[in-house]
Amino acid sequence: MSQKMANTHAPMTTTPMTATHLAGLTRRRLLKTGIALSAATVTGAKADLTIGGQVISQPSQRYGSNNDPNNMAFGEPSAMPNGNTPMETLPINPQWPQWDFATIKANCEALKGRGVHLHLVAPSGFGSDEQRNLLAIHRLTQAGFYIDNPEVISRRYLRFAGSDSERLDDITALLNRPVHELPKILLGVRGGYGAMRLLNKLSDQQWRMLTQKLKERGTLLMGFSDFTALQLAMYAKGHLPYVAGAMLSSDFGKTEVNTDTIQSFINLCTQNQLRIQVPEAQLYRDTARPLAKPIKGTLWGGNLSVLSAMVGTPYMPTVDNGILFLEDTGEQPYRIERMLQTLVLSGIVAKQQAIVLGKFNFSGISDAYNGDYTFDTVIRTIQQTTGRPIYTDFPFGHVARRINFPLGVPVTLDNVGSGYQATFNQFYHLKTDANFGNLDLTKLFV
């Protein structure tokens, strides 16, 4: 049964980027149009971001202003491409200057030892839009990040960002480095498919060694979509916390970045408390059972397709009394239920206190057999089967506006008004890095 929740040092610079540069860069085009549906309403929900106990003010505009970095209202997401689809580029005006890899690479090397270390990982699909990826690297170097392994953006083998051995090298290259030479951010380039092919190519000992060193460094393992496979493996093998968050191509490579996403990236990287509020959401639960207030546990999960595919493997984490987060895109409702049933029948859901659903982007897809079989039907079925409360509309998924938030860490879920809030107090950030004072993160908005 569903019901509304009862009250839930100086910045460094490289080659400057002008508006003319920005205008000439290619864009990812929308290949599959549609809206993101939710159990609560087809208009979606909004969410505030609160840092250090202070709620960032929510603007009056429905979707939030794209010019205000403090705007953390999440409404109905704009249509955006499926994170697993190929990229398409727009025609290039010959008068627009183009970035070249040699220049970008030189800018990266110039920041070695002075910038906050960020290592690129491309375990999945290749990026067909080189200019988009070069723009993303440029933005990050302008902000003060030293980008390691930029060569990944030009690799391609079949549908992948290089051969299995090349993509594996992105990870194994870190094994022999001392802790102080490891990156503070391990950033995924893009999603697609391919990360699962790499998991059994490292031994358990290698996985444990790598995750232990990354934990000592306090590395943020950041990405989503197919990148979830790598994140789950590292959490299963060494309890390395991870971040459902921005990726190189889809977020930092936009001609005009989404300010909500970038602002939440900055907040995550610079604060020691994160509070995400979802003012209006749907709570599915058994009304005959009292709802624990608040619910506390480890929030974990990620992309539903990847999680369901990893059930029964040694790379699937075992989390008792946890809170399971799930999101996906481009699937019919019955396919979503089948994947959820896999998690139920495997006993995973029985170990959880609650389920939190992010934004499910259906891209206009409905059930091919019966249009009345909706996402709402699926959620009701799973709730009645498991008895677990299910929260909806968490502002993350394959949508235009998404927040960055930690997984594999403790979270507290509180009912607030007609919605809920999630509070995180223990996660890695960048302030411990010796070069943190050299960052100028405002340049990520340019």
Q: Per residue in 104-127, pLDDT tens? A: 999 999 999 999 999 999 999 998
List of domains in the chain: 95-271+429-445 (3.40.50.10740), 273-426 (3.50.30.60)
- Is position 180 annotated as part of the catalytic site? no
Nearest to 237 by CA among 208, 203, 269, 212: 208
**pLDDT-derived band of residue 56, with 50, 70 and 90 as boundaries?**
very low
pLDDT top residue among 388 and 53 = 388
**What contacts 288, CB < 8 A, 6 or more positions away?**
none
Is residue 289 very low, low, confident or very high in pLDDT (cuts 50, 70, 90)?
Answer: confident
Residue 92 has pLDDT above 60, yes or no: no
Q: What's residue 384's pLDDT? A: 96
- Which of the residue ranges 82-86, 165-169, 326-330, 332-336 would you say has the lowest mean pLDDT? 82-86
Mean pLDDT score, 209-214 = 98
pLDDT of residue 97: 53
Please identify which of the residues 117, 119, 138, 398 carries the catalytic annotation.
398
Residue predicted with more confidence, 257 or 72: 257
289 Rama class: left (phi>0) / alpha (psi -120 to 50) / beta: beta
Which alpha helices (DSSP H) does 197-327 contain, by range?
A: 204-217, 228-238, 259-270, 304-310
What is the structure's pLDDT at 436?
98
Task: Note the pLDDT of residue 292.
Answer: 65
Tell me which residue of 28, 12, 51, 17 sits closest to 277, measured CA to CA.
51
- pLDDT number for residue 362: 85
**pLDDT given at position 225:** 97
Report the pLDDT value the prediction gives residue 392, as an integer from 0 to 100: 95
Q: Where do the H-state alpha helices sit in 254-328?
A: 259-270, 304-310
pLDDT of residue 298: 98
List the structure tokens of 259: 């300010």
pTM of the model: 0.81
Pairing of strands 36-37, 352-361: antiparallel
Q: Which residues contact 125 (CB under 8 A, 6 or more apart)?
A: 84, 86, 159, 160, 161, 190, 191, 192, 193, 194, 226
Give residue 98's pLDDT.
77
Residues 139-168: tens digit of each pLDDT: 999 999 999 999 999 999 999 999 999 999
- Other residues' Cβ atoms within 10 Å of the Cβ of residue 350: 12
The single residue of 76, 327, 331, 337 carrying the catalytic annotation is 327
Give kind and range of the element (H or E) at residue 146.
Answer: strand 145-148
Is residue 398 part of the annotated active site? The answer reads yes
- Identify whether 327 is a catalytic site residue: yes
Nearest Cα neighbor of 419 from 105, 159, 45 is 45
Q: What are the tens digits of pLDDT across the range 373-416? A: 999 999 999 999 999 999 999 999 999 999 999 999 999 999 88
Q: Residue 428, SS3?
A: coil
Q: Which residues contact 444 (CB under 8 A, 6 or more apart)?
A: 139, 140, 142, 143, 252, 257, 262, 265, 266
CA dihedral 213, 216, 219, 220 (to 10 degrees): 110
Contact criterion met (CB below 8 Å) for 353 and 297: yes
Question: Strand (E) positions, 253-364?
Answer: 274-278, 282-284, 295-303, 322-329, 352-361
Confidence of residue 291 (pLDDT cuts 50, 70, 90): confident
Question: Is it the case that residue 185 has pLDDT exceeding 60?
Answer: yes
Residue 394 is classified by DSSP as -
Q: Is residue 327 within 8 Å of residue 226, measured between CB atoms?
A: no
Displacement of CA 184 from its chain's centroid (Å): 17
Neighbours of 182 (CB within 10 A): 20
Q: Is the pLDDT of residue 433 over 70?
A: yes
Phi and psi torsions of 220, nearest 5° = -90, 115
Q: Would you state the pLDDT for residue 377?
A: 95
Which of the following is catalytic: 38, 124, 225, 249?
225
